[in-house]
Amino acid sequence: MTGSMVLLFLAGIAAGFINAIAGGGSAITIPILTEMVGASVANGTNRVAVLIANIAAVAGFQRDNKVPWDIVKPLAPAALFGAIGGAWVATLLSVAAMRRVFSAVLVLIALSVLVRPNRWLGGGAPRLRQPWSTVVFFLIGFYGGFVQAGVGFLLLAGLVMGSGLDLVRGNGAKVALIASYTWVALLLFAFAGQVDFGLGLVLAGGNASGAYVAARVAVRKGAPWVRWMLVVAAIGAAVRMATA
C-alpha cells in the first residue's frame, strides 16, 4: 500500500469515528480525495466509504438495541427522495458555496449544544409533527445527497430536537438513515462516472473500523460524552468547510 493509500485509510478511521458519534468526518476525507481525483469524483467516491461505514455503525448501535427503528422507518422515505434530488444536482454543480454556508450552520448547532444542553442529553417529547417532519428530513436528505459532509449534524438536530431522542439513540437513528439513502446516491454518482471504487474501498476499510468502534464507545460513555464530542466535531468541521 502506497503512502497516499495509507493516509487515506487512516483518514477514513478518523472520519468514520467522528461521523458515527457526531458528523463532519467527510470534511477530512473529501479534501484528500480531491487532491487525488478531483472534486466531483471525490464527492462520489466518498459515498462508497459512507455507505459501508454507516452499515458498520448500525451494527454497533444495534448490539445494544440503540437504533430506534420506529423513528427511522417513517423518516427514511423522505430522506431517500431528498438524497436522490441532491445527488442528481451534485453531479451537475459545484458544492463549494453550499459547504461555506453550512459552516455557519455548524457553529449555530455547536452553540445550541452548549447553551441548551438539556435538549440534547435526555431527549423529550417530539417537536416536529407531520407534515413538517417529512419536509425537514427531505431537505436534510437533499443536502446529504448533494455533499454529505456535515449531514450528521443536521440529522442529529432533527432527531434529537425534532423527534425527542437522546444523543445515543439519535446517533443510532442517524447512521441508519444515512445508510438508507446513501446507496442510491452512490448509484447516481456511479452512473455519472464520478466514483473511483478502488479508492472508495480503501477509504471504506478505515471508515467502517472507526465507525464501529465509535458506536460501541458512544453506547458505553452515554449522552454527556457524546455532547462534548459533538461540540468539538461541529466547530472543527465548520473551520475546515469555511477554509476549503
Q: Is the dihedral of CA 64, 50, 233, 32 positive or negative?
A: positive
Nearest CA to 112 out of 75, 157, 69 is that of 157
Instruction: Quote the cell numbers at residue 75.
Output: 423518516
- The structural domain count of the chain equals 1
Distances (CA, A) of 6 to 1, 140, 170, 209, 221: 6, 32, 32, 14, 30
> What pLDDT does residue 115 have?
56
Q: What is the secondary structure of the chain as a DSSP string?
A: --HHHHHHHHHHHHHHHHHHHSS-THHHHHHHHHHHH-HHHHHHHHHHHHHHHHHHHHHHHHTTT---HHHHHHHHHHHHHHHHHHHHHHTTS-SHHHHHHHHHHHHHHHHHHHH-THHHHS--S----TTHHHHHHHHHHHHHHHT-TTHHHHHHIIIIIIT---HHHHHHHHHHHHHHHHHHHHHHHHHTT---HHHHHHHHHHHHHHHHHHHHHHHHH-HHHHHHHHHHHHHHHHHHHHT-
Rounded distance between C-alpha atoms, residue 53 and residue 37, angstroms: 21
Spell out the per-residue pLDDT of the chain, length 244, in tens.
577 889 899 888 988 888 888 777 777 788 888 888 887 788 889 999 999 999 999 998 998 888 999 999 999 999 999 999 988 887 776 656 555 655 665 666 666 556 555 555 555 666 667 787 889 899 999 988 887 777 888 888 888 877 778 888 888 999 999 999 999 999 989 998 989 999 999 999 999 998 888 888 888 887 677 777 777 777 776 676 666 5
Rounded distance between C-alpha atoms, residue 166 and residue 78, angstroms: 22
> What pLDDT does residue 1 have?
57
The pTM of the full predicted model, rounded to 2 decimals, is 0.80
Residue 45 sits in which domain range? 3-242
Assess contact for 215 and 171: CB atoms under 8 A: yes
